[in-house]
Amino acid sequence: MTVLGPPQSLKVAVDSCPHNSGALKALLTDLVSEGFPSGLSLAIVGPEAIMFSAYGGVACRVDEMRAITEATSYDLASLTKVVCTVTLTLVLEGQGKLSMDDPVQTWLAGFPRSDVTLRHLLTHTSGLVAHRPFFETLTGRAGIEAAVFDEAAGRGPSGEVLYSDLNFMLLGWVLEACSGARLDDLFADDVASRLEMKRTGFRPGPLEETAATELDGDQRLVPGLIQGEVHDGNCYALGCVAGHAGLFAPLDELAIFLRHLLAPDGRVLTAGMLEAMSTRQAGDRPEVRALGWRLAPEGWGGWPEDTLWHTGFTGTSLLVSRPLGLGVILLTNAIHPHRRLDEQAEMRAMIHRQVWEIFN
């Protein structure tokens, strides 16, 4: 496979940005022209509208050159946790179908511990390890679920925050047990359709509308380019639908979601649900946790302590400051064609610091 050089272009739309965004445009232009990340889409949103948006770079640069467009859909990776799984947990609790303090055993009968609750999973305080590459030896829910249960058997809540994909794999299965529906169908019915997010879901649209991710990475048993399907190996082994990863979305539809968080109107979440979701639950800097979301981003600028944020391995992130009435969506395929995680972290930080400076 041949890795091609990136085109040097950036499209910017400024709708109602209240301050000079020239420095932000310059930063994004430099990133795109230098080829890292390969492609990006950025939006700054308020409760009623997108104030600033930009997109540029390439969706694929292996054997073919496909540019990022306004409609490009990205693998959200761990943003699935907060866009899908946390949201649906709040919805089902609001319907009286479950409680955050239910033991996991209430919904998953084979789960080996009685002292782990849904709140422990949501706040990453269950004691479960961060990750296991189950996909290397297992395929399908039955085998992977049994392996997750085995991991949980000797680990209980300690009060400490340990970020774990396994927590949200379990939550995805809990949501299915509680609702009687597949997780992808539940998300489509109770979130995406209510917010008119027509292209957001667990299986992306046409290949040419989707940003490629990693070439010859460690999330598949055979080498190759991952495009048009989820990057995460465990989610792939679970049929591309899981509580911890698998969601795809374009920039404009995530803007709809963030505007809903900034001004909840009850279509999905209410103001009370947002308050519960945003309340500090566990941890200390830099791992301060609300329900699913992180709080108090460090190194991203002077955002308030109660700022919600989360990142995804593929190069995605969401930030929501409800007191400021401001949200930031950054979508990139920064692991395409190869991951550069330290540079990815600094790129995210630079962009968010620049956004902070525009509005403060």
For the chain, give every residue range classified as CATH 3.40.710.10.
71-293
Q: What is the pLDDT along the chain (360 residues), one digit of tens a residue?
A: 677 766 556 676 555 565 678 899 999 989 988 889 999 999 999 999 999 999 999 999 999 889 999 999 999 999 999 999 999 999 999 999 999 999 999 999 999 999 999 999 999 999 999 999 999 999 999 999 999 999 999 889 988 999 999 999 999 999 999 999 999 999 999 999 999 999 999 988 888 899 999 999 999 999 999 999 999 999 999 999 999 999 999 999 999 999 999 999 999 999 999 999 999 999 998 899 999 999 999 999 999 999 999 999 999 999 999 999 999 999 999 999 999 999 999 999 999 999 999 888
Residue 23, burial from CB neighbour count under 10 angstroms (0-12, 13-18, 19+): exposed
CATH class of 71-293: alpha beta
CA torsion sign for 332, 335, 338, 342 is positive
pTM confidence score: 0.96
**Cis, peptide link before residue 157, omega less than 30° from 0:** no
Asked if 261 and 269 count as a contact pair (C-beta separation under 8 A), the reply is: yes
CB atoms within 10 A of CB 254: 26
